[in-house]
Structures are given as C-alpha cells and as structure tokens.
A = this chain, B = another copy of it.
Amino acid sequence: MKTYLECIPCFFRQALDGARKTGAAPKVQKKIMDEFARIIPHVSLRSTPPEIARLGYALLRKLSRNPDPYKEIKQKSNRLALAMHGKLRRKVSGSRNKLLTAVELAIAGNIIDFGVKNNLDVDTELRRILAKEERYARRKDLFHYREFKSALQAARTVLYLGDNAGEVVFDRVLIEEIKRRDPKKQIFFAVKEKPIINDVLREDARESGIDRYATIISNGSDAPGTILRFCSSAFKRIYRKADMVISKGQGNFESLSRARRPIFFLFMVKCPVVERETGAKRGDIVLLSNQKTHGRISIAHVSSKNTAKKV
C-alpha cells in the first residue's frame, strides 16, 4: 500500500518513541527528529510506509550509536510468550476447530507488539479476541479462512513471513498445528537479517523453538516489512517458488499488499490508515487473501483518497 499523509505525523511519533528507547540524551533525540525531518521532502507517498520507516530507524541506530534499541523489549516479549506456550497449545488441542483457533491465536500474538506490559494484559486481550472467534470467522470479507484452509491443504511448501519477537511463539503454535496435520509439509520461517524495531530475528525464532518445525531463513533485509527489492536472492527464490505464502503483521501487509503472487495476510489492524485500506476496525484480526481483495482494496483506496480531499 502507498503511504498516506497521515503516516507522516505517525513516523515522527515512532521516531521519538524509538529515540527514547535508545536511551539517547534529549539533544540526540532532537537530532534524530531533525534528520528524519530532512528526509521527508525527499520521500514519495508512492513508497510503502515500511520503506520510509526503514530510513528513520537507520538514522536512529546511527545517531544513537545503538544497533539494537529494542533488544531488551524483544527478550522480554520472548520470555512472556514462552511462558504462555503450554496454555496456547492447550487452547488449540481443546478446540473443536484446531486450525482456526491456531490461526486466530497466531494473529492475536500481534498484541504483544501493542504496548502490552504483562501476562495479564495478554490474557485479557486473548480472551477478548477468542470471545469474538466465531464472529471474526463469519466475516467473509475480512477472514478468508476457507481459501486459507484449502490453499494450505494443497501446499507442499509454505513460506511463513515472521513479524515480531514474542509473537513468534504464537506463530510456532500455528506452525505446530500445520505440521501435526501434515508432517510432510516443508515450512520456511522468514526473519529479518538485521535488528529493526522489535521484528523477529534468527535468535528470537530459535528461542521460540520454531526451528523444530520449520527452516529459519533470513529475508536479507532490515526493513520493518518485506520490501522485495531489498531482500536477498536466496529469499526471493523461496518467495517465488513456495506453494503458499503466509504473511504475518501489518508491516508485511503494508509492504506486500500489491504483490502479484498469492499471499495470505494475517494481522491485527493497528492504525486508521489500515482501517481505511481494509475496512476493518483497529484491534480487529483479519485474514486476507490478496487474490480476493485486490479489486476491493483498490476501490477502498480510491474512495479514501477522495474523502481525504473533501475533508
């Protein structure tokens, strides 16, 4: 998807959040904002939001001299999620529709990214989402589960694009369920090459134990999404050849929503711009097949542009 004008204030908010997480002095924080401001006139709104955010985070690392400002947060998220793993598995094994529950939990894992502070918060959020489980599954326009299930049944190789640390434990629960149903499926789990925000890296994926069920591969890039022209050839080969691509998180959706190959996007809607793109509400979990949404999302896109003009 393209970047909206509303994304600009939000980039600055994220830059400031990030600048503070580095522990940089207020002067350095201001410098980070200033240098990011200098970039803005040179970016096109035809870029996707993760392309622009990537430039901001590169500045953040350079000026703060901190290559991984979110390291502690990622470690904490991993610990928090790992402590819940048994419970998550039991939720799936106790469900009448195990695959659906595993899918919903995997998407719900995205809440760890949502400023969630402790186990109790995660529990509350999970309960909120699972209480709506059937309601989500019934929303045929936002939850292409039937298509997902049949694509999965037919696929021999699956590329699963990871999103965040912590959340990766929820991804493992879905991947475990996929392998339980068909141990012969080959699954690739893609991580980022270098630290970018709290995105999942190889070390987080290993810590989550996902390597017992999937082959961990790097996408070769440090963007907070999957920007193909920054990805490695090795990654792109798997991306092109995999029978099915499962993309987790809003960042991957933002960067791949216009991709030509079939992709299933699993994510929680986190901002007003993506509300407009999808027609879902913030906090909703969605499962979108780009084969079904291409037309519709383009229309939503155009009409929201017109609305913006009118306001």
Contact = CB atoms under 8 A, between A and B. Distances in A.
A155 interface: no
A120 interface: no
A226 interface: no
B311 A26 contact: no
A25 interface: yes
A5 interface: yes
Nearest to A309: B26
Nearest to A43: B34
A305 B25 CA distance: 11
Given A37-B40, A305-B26, A16 B20 contact: no
Contact of A9 (B13, B25, B309, B311): B13
A30 B16 contact: no
Interface in A226-253: none
A296 B37 CA distance: 34
Contact of A30 (B21, B26, B45): B45
Contacts of A26: 5, 305, 308-309
A42 to B, nearest CB: 9
Contacts of A115: none
B8 A33 contact: yes
Nearest to A12: B9
A38 interface: yes
Interface in A201-259: none
Contacts of A311: 20-21
A41 interface: yes
Interface in A284-307: 305
Contacts of A16: 5-6, 8-9
A34 B41 contact: yes
A10 interface: yes
Interface centre among A19, A37, A309 (most CB of B within 10 A): A37
Contacts of A34: 40-41
Contact of A25 (B8, B25, B35, B309): B309
A32 to B, nearest CB: 9
27 contacts: A5-B19, A5-B26, A5-B29, A5-B30, A5-B33, A8-B37, A9-B9, A9-B10, A9-B12, A9-B13, A9-B16, A12-B12, A20-B308, A20-B311, A21-B311, A25-B309, A26-B308, A26-B309, A30-B45, A33-B40, A34-B40, A34-B41, A37-B37, A37-B40, A37-B41, A38-B38, A38-B41
Interface of A: 5-6, 8-10, 12-13, 16, 19-21, 25-26, 29-30, 33-35, 37-38, 40-41, 45, 305, 308-309, 311
